[in-house]
Amino acid sequence: MLAALVAVEVMLQASFIVYGDAGMGKYIEDGGVVDKAGMEAAFESGDAPFSEFIAFVLHGMNGMMVIPLIALLLLISSFFAKVPGGTKWAGIVLGLVVLQVALGLLGHSFPIIGALHGINALLLFSSAVWTFYRSRRVVSDAAAASDVPRERVIA
């Protein structure tokens, strides 16, 4: 379930950033000006220049705190789950989350890294979905095995 939650969070991340970007684009089209001082002031004071600005805040908080915490919990829980390869896939998810955070932070200094941030998001989403699928398959296989009628041997 935690793996599915990571996948949902990645979808939310995509929607947050596009919503914020679209809002900023409309703000600029309507004559607004975006510069470093204005953006920093908005983050510090909470006084948003456009209503969609909150999406940038949500994207940052979700990506820096919520998703890493869920991925860490996924890895911890994988040690107790009886899913073959579960710890490996939970580790892959956590590794991609760590890489995603690094790419997101570096993207502010090197914009080309933003392209890698987007590609890694797709890899993260896919690996989280795959991890969830594998865990559900093990659960459903175990349930199916317990539903199989057994022959009685009377000696």
Tell me, what amino acid is at 78? S
Q: Whose CA is closest to 94, among 79, 114, 110, 73?
A: 73
- pLDDT by residue for the chain (155 residues), tens only, comes to 999 999 999 999 999 999 999 999 999 999 999 998 988 888 888 889 999 999 999 999 999 999 999 999 999 999 998 889 999 999 999 999 999 999 999 999 999 998 999 999 999 999 999 999 988 876 565 555 555 555 655 65
Cα–Cα distances (Å) from 88 to 27, 28, 41, 71, 134, in that order, read 45, 46, 43, 13, 12
- CA atoms 98, 99, 105, 106: torsion sign: positive
pTM (2 d.p.): 0.84
